Amino acid sequence: MTKIAASDFRQQLADLGNRVSYGGERITVTRSGKPLFAVVPYEDAELLEALEDRMDLDLAKKALKRNDTVSWEKAKKELGL
């Protein structure tokens, strides 16, 4: 993964956007050498979302198997709704 300083990222945004969009490159933006965020192709972000959804679904199924549920009324009360 390519690393670039935040100050350089701002100056090169259009070029870096093209490299990510059309070249599939992944870029880590840093400040003082520490990673701040990553710029990835849209397809990578979609995949990440799908993986997170799958993990959430798996956790929900496990909770249902354990009968580890809370009534809607209790949930609303705990959340102050």
CATH number of the CATH domain containing 30: 3.40.1620
Same domain membership, residue 50 and residue 30: no
| Gap between the Cα atoms of 34 and 46, Å rounded | 25
User: Do 49 and 74 fall within a single domain?
Assistant: yes
pLDDT number for residue 67: 80
pTM for the whole structure: 0.69
What are 27's strand-pairing partners?
Answer: 2, 39
Q: What is the pLDDT along the chain (81 residues), one digit of tens a residue?
A: 999 999 999 999 999 999 999 999 999 999 999 999 999 999 999 999 999 999 999 998 888 888 877 889 988 999 999
**Number of compact structural domains in the chain:** 2
Rg (CA), the chain: 20
Name the residue range of residue 54's domain: 41-81
Sign of CA pseudo-dihedral 68, 73, 75, 77? negative
Instruction: Indicate if 23 and 57 belong to the same structural domain.
Output: no
Same domain, 33 and 10: yes
> Do 34 and 46 lie in a common domain?
no
